[in-house]
Structure 1
Amino acid sequence: MPDYFEIEYYNMVLLATGVIALLAAIIPVITQRKVLSAPVVYMLLGIGGYFIFLHYFFQPMDYMEVIKKVTEFVVIIALTNAGLKIKEPFKWSTWRNSLRLLAIVMPFTIVAAAFLGWWIIGLAPATALLFGALIAPTDPVLASELQTSQPSEADTSKIKLGLTSEAGLNDGLAFPFTYFAILAAQKGMEIENWIGDWLLHYVLIRIVVAVIIGLLSGWILFKIVFNVAKNELLTQISRGILSLSLTLLPYAITEMVGGYGFIAVFIAACIFSRYEKFDEHMDSLHDFNEELESLIVAVIFIVTGIFIASHYYILIDVKIISVALIMIFLIRPVIGYLSLLGTDLNKFQKFVLSFYGIRGIGSVFYLAYALTSADFKDSEKLFEITIAIIFFSVLIHGLTAHRVQKRIYKHDST
């Protein structure tokens, strides 16, 4: 007789993947007009699933290489999406608010987070520097309710445009500071011995390379696709394959040359999206990327929920909670609001731009990248505080984003 109800690991993986894919298709639609955001629901499902089915101690430190690759992929997909949403990338009005957030808020946040990590959590100096670098960038993946419109729609919201353009660039600009922490772990805290090399290679050269390749690859890809194919043939080009090429080609080329692929991907997508006559096709690329992004986000935040459930003690650790809430309610909002003084934004717009610096998958990537590149003391403690901040950020920002969304258009019109 054949064996019935024989459970193989491979089939279990397929079953889990199918369930998560179904959730990724349904939950964003259900939560679209609800208080709960999709990432919050995924985390709750992960927490519930742990207590119902798993009951084992999940140790992510054993899977850093896998975590790095998965988070890297979802971030570059999200950066392509963010770039496609920027309608006018060469206008000063697109960047005048987000540049303040990038030039003022990001470095001050790095310093503040590093100090809190060292002072309250007790992280080693190099590890505290890494904490500052990975927690500073806002996430292009999350809080999509507060990102700007689809490519075919005009950027009428100063809030959404500011948050989208900031998230699109600061994920790449966090790399030099991550390398600063890596060099500190490898070469010691005698910073004067290696800071010159850091400034030349990890700040100047790598950023310039990324910008050049991003501009060139975006322009070349546009010419290849929209000049070679006649208008009547454009609808026959697979949006999925084209979207992946727009994401993977700039990223891979830049990384192989030695630049920052995150910056190149975002810039290439900005170049690609600036031609209004092809808005319909840009919408198609954007929609495919969002579908792919939704699937991976579901996986990541269900796993995050499992981690939180199996490490529940981090949510009752006074030091961890203190740092997380100070970062979310004090550091980013205060520095962000002060940086926007003197702009033409009203008080509500300043508040939203400063408060909604959501932390998420980008921080996990930088954490995994650094931990697979150098040995950091207190790495487990660093992982715990990072996940705690992401958990509280997703929860707090996710539960309030829908209500804020209702007020955005009223205040953007003033």
Structure 2
Amino acid sequence: MDPYIVLLAGTGALILLVAWLPMVLKELPLSLPMFCVGFGFAAFGLSTGDTPHPLAYPAVTERLTELVVIVALAGAGLKIDRPLGLRSWSMTWRLLGIAMPLSIAGIALVAHWLLGLGAAAALLLGAALAPTDPVLASDIQVGPPRSGEEDEVRFTLTAEAGLNDGLAFPFVHLAIFLALNDALAGDWVWEWVALDVVWKLGAGIGAGWAVGAALGWLSFHMPNRARLSRTGDGFVALGVTFLAYGVTELLHGYGFVAVFVAALALRSAERHSRYHDQLHDFAEQTERLLMMVLLVLFGGALAGGLLDPLDWWGGLAVVAFLFVVRPLAGWVSLLGAPAPREERAAIAFFGIRGLGSFYYLAFALNQAPFGHGAQLWAVLGLTVLVSIALHGVTVTPWMRLLDAKRRVQGVLPFGRG
């Protein structure tokens, strides 16, 4: 049997599933990520070939997860209608400034106490698992551009997922510094503050906004015949994504931050153009295809023994991460926020973990010897697996209840059937 022909047939089937499955699963307590992981587990479990364990393919794991995350970040930024502001984004700032540091610290402490990890490995696990995922959280994000599907819960979780991926990077680099340096303090601390916190965050925000604003002007404000928006080509979204990411990384900034900021800047250049729909739709379709591929491979890694290093303490740690650390950190950060209690509870609970966590762990393990690679992948893999199942089953009924309550109160800002 020709492997090339098999690859073509498999690719065709995957593309059709990308298009059809979301419609089929929409009314079921089953998400597309759950199906993909299950399919990968079954397919690789029945196969006699090698399984895609991330420790066996470290470079490929890093690059593939990096690609899907930056595409997802661009899609998230393109569909946010609300202009950037201190008050209008206040709940997002609370999650970024309070909930994420608390989550990193909480996960690191649990990892140290229950799993016996050292400071570097525990901090790495905290930094990798604290950010919510822009890929797997699509079921609880705002709707397409100009659709009006932007209630406070969906908006806050979308904006959080778009920004906290880049903001977790300084802590990933801090874990790398700890792994490479025996002393807990020294000259490298100032290097970390100056380079990994101040410069890289500033470069990510500045370069991202510059690229997005420039492309926004080219798209919507050039003389009529020269506007990029006249092309109607949705794949321009990938051009914006890759250019913002590449330029920022060349400047040694955080490309994740830049991609999301560039998408926000592009939207701000002209908020009401239908061209945003085409850009968003292409980014979303590309993201969904890449996500399915990676989750099938994740299922294959599970079939190949990814979780074998786990013991009962590892399982208990995962329960603490998902049911204690994130909900508690989110709840604390939203105390006094101008939102009903049930909405604050939803925001605190739906801290979905996913492919961004895979990227951070793969990146760090490729940079420094942490010495707990198999255990870290096992704990992170189980956390993502439980998150996919838990949040995939609960997100639809929970959001329907919130939407129904808003309709009764007459405050639902958009129409949902």
Shared fold, TM over 0.5: yes
Alignment partner of 1:51 out of 40, 45, 48: 45
Match of 1:403 in 2: 397
Cα distance in structure 2, aligned partners of 1:29 and 1:244 = 25
Alignment partner of 2:90 out of 87, 92, 96: 96
Match of 1:302 in 2: 296
Q: Aligned AA for 1:75?
A: V
Alignment partner of 1:85 out of 79, 86, 90: 79
Alignment of 1:3-152 (within 5 A): 7-54=1-48, 56=50, 58-152=52-146
Asked if the contact 1:157/1:409 (under 8 Å) is kept, the reply is: no
Instruction: Deviation per CA, 1:83-109: give whole Å up to 9, x if none.
Output: 112223323343100111111111111
1:366 paired to 2:360: yes
Instruction: Deviation per CA, 1:312-343: give whole Å up to 9, x if none.
Output: 75497312211111111111111111211111
Q: Measured at CA, do residues 365 and 316 of structure 1 come closer, stay the same or move farther in structure 2, by a change above 3 Å?
A: closer
Q: Aligned AA for 2:362?
A: A
Cα distance in structure 1, aligned partners of 2:106 and 2:130 = 9
Q: Is there any run of 5+ residues in structure 1 with no aligned partner, and where?
A: 1-6
Q: Measured at CA, do residues 219 and 233 of structure 1 come closer, stay the same or move farther in structure 2, by a change above 3 Å?
A: closer
Higher alpha-carbon deviation: 82-91 or 297-306: 82-91
After TM superposition, give the deviation of residue 373 of structure 1 in Å: 1.2
Alignment partner of 2:331 out of 312, 337, 346: 337
Asked if the contact 2:77/2:264 (under 8 Å) is kept, the reply is: yes
Q: Aligned AA for 1:376?
A: F
Q: Is there any run of 5+ residues in structure 2 with no aligned partner, and where?
A: 413-417
TM-score, normalised relative to structure 1: 0.93
Match of 1:326 in 2: 320
Cα distance in structure 2, aligned partners of 1:75 and 1:87 = 21
Cα distance in structure 1, aligned partners of 2:371 and 2:119 = 9
Alignment partner of 2:155 out of 157, 161, 168: 161
1:380 paired to 2:381: no
Cα distance in structure 1, aligned partners of 2:390 and 2:160 = 20
Match of 1:259 in 2: 253
Q: Aligned AA for 1:41?
A: F
Match of 1:4 in 2: none
After TM superposition, give the deviation of residue 59 of structure 1 in Å: 2.9
CA RMSD of the aligned region, Å?
Answer: 2.0
Cα distance in structure 1, aligned partners of 2:360 and 2:146 = 32
- Partner SS state of residue 92, structure 1: coil
1:197 paired to 2:191: yes
Instruction: Deviation per CA, 1:20-69: give whole Å up to 9, x if none.
Output: 22222221221122210100011111122133334755432121111111
Higher alpha-carbon deviation: 47-56 or 20-29: 47-56
Instruction: Deviation per CA, 1:211-248: give whole Å up to 9, x if none.
Output: 11111111100111222362897665153331111111
Cα distance in structure 2, aligned partners of 1:90 and 1:310 = 44
Match of 1:389 in 2: 383
Match of 1:218 in 2: 212
Cα distance in structure 1, aligned partners of 2:401 and 2:9 = 41
Asked if the contact 1:94/1:161 (under 8 Å) is kept, the reply is: no
The percent identity for this pair of structures is: 34
- Partner SS state of residue 239, structure 1: coil
TM-score, normalised relative to structure 2: 0.92
Higher alpha-carbon deviation: 24-33 or 249-258: 24-33
Cα distance in structure 1, aligned partners of 2:285 and 2:189 = 42
Cα distance in structure 1, aligned partners of 2:300 and 2:323 = 26
Cα distance in structure 2, aligned partners of 1:112 and 1:322 = 14
Cα distance in structure 1, aligned partners of 2:239 and 2:350 = 31
After TM superposition, give the deviation of residue 367 of structure 1 in Å: 0.8
Q: Point out the structure with the larger helix share.
A: 1
Match of 2:200 in 1: 206
Higher alpha-carbon deviation: 235-244 or 157-166: 235-244
- Partner SS state of residue 4, structure 2: helix
- Partner SS state of residue 143, structure 1: helix
Q: Aligned AA for 1:224?
A: L
After TM superposition, give the deviation of residue 279 of structure 1 in Å: 3.2
Cα distance in structure 1, aligned partners of 2:17 and 2:356 = 22
1:347 paired to 2:317: no
Match of 1:3 in 2: none
Q: Aligned AA for 1:167?
A: A
Q: Measured at CA, do residues 343 and 383 of structure 1 come closer, stay the same or move farther in structure 2, by a change above 3 Å?
A: same
Cα distance in structure 2, aligned partners of 1:260 and 1:219 = 18
Asked if the contact 1:126/1:189 (under 8 Å) is kept, the reply is: no
Asked if the contact 1:86/1:155 (under 8 Å) is kept, the reply is: no
Alignment partner of 2:276 out of 282, 289, 309: 282
Q: Measured at CA, do residues 110 and 313 of structure 1 come closer, stay the same or move farther in structure 2, by a change above 3 Å?
A: closer
Asked if the contact 1:124/1:378 (under 8 Å) is kept, the reply is: no
Asked if the contact 1:40/1:398 (under 8 Å) is kept, the reply is: yes
